Amino acid sequence: MREFAILTIFVLSLSVASGQPPKRSLIISHLTGDFYIYTTYGLYKGNPVPANSMYLVTTKGVVLFDTPWDSTQFQPLLDSIKIKHNKDVILCISTHFHEDRTAGLEFYRRKGIKTYTTEQTDKISKLRNEKRAGFLIYKDTLFTMGQHMFQTYYGGQGHSPDNIVIWFDKEKILYGGCLVKSMEAADLGNLSDANVKAWVATIKNIQVKFRNPDYIIPGHLDWHSKEALTHTLNLIQQYEEKSSAKKF
């Protein structure tokens, strides 16, 4: 896979020491065909963490799946896409209400980009004072954009009450967001809004509905493995075993 950095990666130590957001670059990597993964960085428990998002180039324009986490990269992402593809971003869908998925929604809406979340995400975003989209998705929806089609799907609670995935049937791409854990992940990460008990059933619903994906994109860390769903189930099992052991 061809990979290139849009901006130079700065040294992190000063940012972390000062408690400021890490000054990382916007990194864009080619996935396959018209699909690209873009990564920005934010702080979680004082440490810099990469957040994976995706964009799709269509004949009608470019579609974003989730927004940059780092607010300094909202405009550079648009500029980079314009330079590379000579196309404008026309649509953005965020997969749950957390800041690493929704931070840029209002910025992009003001730019004239159609922004979407599910109705459930919007209700939580309103309560939590997170950024909100201009348009709502009320049920699992099939979108057609130029030569491409994709489906939003809510399989149940897990990382958050509202987490959805996006499926591209022709290319067999599953964009899992934070519901799906990277093979690099040693644990389930941020559980502040999680429903761990429901998470297993949600992942299994996805496995049944979208069989044999060629690409699985988790919300954080490395995204090259096709075993991320299985790894997520293993991490849930490990978490439950540890939780049970603490009770005795």
Contact between residue 74 and residue 104 where contact means Cβ atoms under 8 Å apart: yes
Residue 148 falls in the annotated catalytic set: no
Q: Which of 66, 100, 122, 162 is catalytic?
A: 100
Name the helix (H) or strand (E) containing 128. Answer: helix 119-128
Known catalytic membership, residue 162: no
**Two tokens, residue 95:** 């997969």
Active-site annotation holds for 220: no
**Catalytic residue (choose from 98, 148, 220, 231):** 98
Given 52, 70, 96, 220, which residue is catalytic?
96
- Select which of 34, 52, 159, 163 is catalytic: 159
Cα 49–chain centre separation? 13
Round to whole Å and give the CA distance between 84 and 101. 23
98 is catalytic: yes
Residue 231 a catalytic site member: no
E strands in the chain = 3-5, 27-32, 35-44, 47-57, 62-65, 89-93, 114-118, 135-137, 142-145, 148-153, 165-168, 173-177, 215-218
Which residues are tagged catalytic?
A: 96, 98, 100, 159, 190
